[in-house]
Structure 1
Amino acid sequence: MPGIVVRERLHSPGRERIPEPMVMDDAESVAYFHTGGGANPGMRAVYDLCARSIDALLPPGGRILDLGIGSGRALSAVLRRRPDVHAVGVDLAPNMLATAQELFTAEGLDGRAELVQADITALPESLAAGSWDAVSCMWTLHQLPDVEVLGAALRQIAAVQRDSGAGLWISDFARLKDPSACPAMLQCVDPDSPMGLRQDAIASEAAAFTREELSAELAAAGLGGLRCGHCTPLPYLQAYWMFGARGKHAPIGQQDSALNGQTRREAALLRWGFTAKPF
């Protein structure tokens, strides 16, 4: 890892972004991604970081709007941590939404989660004008095709946040300068991960916006001044947040009993290495 980190720091900027398809809905790909999210320690550590962060943004009995829910793993971690919370999850992909519904039903969460098929750049009025205590967008922005669509999504998020006074949590991959850094890191820290899952992570990092790009677009959308942090020693994950109109809340969530062994260690290392976080 030290050599990977040094090469990344010394690498010249200007790496080209390689977009992914905006909508991931192939049934086989959805199933593979969903299965990996339930078993891979690194992915579960990321979900845990998001759940802990959102816990600090949500008041008791709060309502959260999750944009880009995917197969539901990230929002499930929030709902399991906070049994008092209700959520609406939005995604464009029907197979992702169907998989999320199956997950929530299996975990007994379906009574607290409503799923809506919609474009996060142009939400239905019922959601855009809703009463929310938090808005989240977790590991979704890298799938947007270009900065124009990214700007549209962020303007929509800014409008919802402004009108509702909600807390805000945005997290995603961050494109590194060195294209070899992410593959080398995954080979180093997660050599037993299935090749398909590793390739998906590599493609997502290559499609991600850099911290500089995302910060600039956030500011242009009216979301300048957000608090932010990134993972270390290799900054391939980034997060931005703000507390809502009701201020910061003492985290009240329950520890995820499923975090054990390697997953617990990776979650602790990710929290420890993140430069800043809400909790």
Structure 2
Amino acid sequence: MVMDDAESVAYFHAGGGANPGMRAVYDLCARALDVMLPPGGRLLDLGIGSGRALSAVLRRRPDIMAVGVDLAPNMLATARDLFAAEGLDRRVELVQADITALPDSLAAGPWDAVSCMWTLHQLPDVQVLGAALRQIAAVRCDSGAALWISDFARLKDPSACPAMLQCVDPDSPAGLRQDAIASEAAAFTREELSAQLAAAGLGGLSSGHATPLPYLQAYWAFGANGKPEPVGHRYSALRGQTRREAALLRWGFTAKPF
């Protein structure tokens, strides 16, 4: 449930800055949250990790504020350094907490959106998953916040993810590739996650998944006030292979909020 080994955290964080596939996923999430957050909105990000995903959101939307939650001290320390280096530290607060049992100050916050990006596969079983989703449902019910949940999806064939990575990203470092393979294998299937969302009171969310291989899944809903008016975007400066992979991921996703 906690990825906090210093070497693993450093390796994951470095990959998030350099790997085109990881950056493409961050870009997809940032585009989704962009259209969900109103001007000057407040975002609660659960399972912030090393901060790369939230950084993409903050850079795309310079008007919003965020609170990032994680249980791993080394992840939070890495995220804190990242936000300071990128000049984002005044717009984000980091909190060490369990996403299945948030402090009252967070659970009752005036959030405009709640996000959980690339985190749920770290949870050890469906019981803990259910607790996390019930906490998210409670926050959403109290605040009327928009919701964005995205994660890996475990595939039926265990050989599919390794074969895909070898095909699309053959030069990826072995350690980073093994982490991706392990994460996909540890993830919940789309059927499992959909069932747990419904059981937690989060049924009826819009959803989509990657194609042609459905190794990523996403679920979302706009806030109680509906879709906000568009805000002037600061588009992320993706280049080269990262830009191509981000475009392919968006194009292949079966549905998305933007």
TM-score by length of 1: 0.92
User: Displacement of 1:251 after TM fit?
Assistant: 4.2
> SS of 1:76's equivalent?
helix
CA offsets per residue over residues 229-276 of structure 1, 9 Å max, x none?
00000000000000001211244321102x000000000000000000
Tell me: CA distance 1:47–1:154, structure 2 relative to 1, closer, same or farther (3 Å).
same
Matches within 5 A, 1:1-279: 22-252=1-231, 253-257=233-237, 259-279=238-258
Percent of pairs with identical residues:
86
Instruction: Structure 1: give runs of 5+ residues left out of the alignment.
Output: 1-21
Amino acid at match of 1:173: F
Q: Distance in 2 between matches of 1:247 and 1:68?
A: 25
Amino acid at match of 2:122: Q
Q: Distance in 2 between matches of 1:35 and 1:193?
A: 12
Q: Distance in 2 between matches of 1:147 and 1:131?
A: 28
CA offsets per residue over residues 207-229 of structure 1, 9 Å max, x none?
00000000000000000000000
Amino acid at match of 1:180: S
Q: Distance in 1 between matches of 2:230 and 2:166?
A: 35
> SS of 2:39's equivalent?
coil
CA offsets per residue over residues 124-182 of structure 1, 9 Å max, x none?
00000000000000000000000000000000000000100000000000000000000
Q: Distance in 2 between matches of 1:199 and 1:169?
A: 26
Tell me: CA distance 1:213–1:278, structure 2 relative to 1, closer, same or farther (3 Å).
same
Stretches of 4+ aligned residues off by more than 6 angstroms: none
TM-score by length of 2: 0.99
Q: What CA RMSD, in Å, does the superposition of the two structures yield over aligned residues? A: 0.6
Amino acid at match of 1:85: I
Instruction: Structure 2: give runs of 5+ residues left out of the alignment.
Output: none
CA offsets per residue over residues 40-75 of structure 1, 9 Å max, x none?
000000000000000011000000000000000000
Amino acid at match of 1:68: G
- How many equivalent residue pairs? 257
Q: Distance in 2 between matches of 1:26 and 1:204?
A: 16
> SS of 2:207's equivalent?
strand
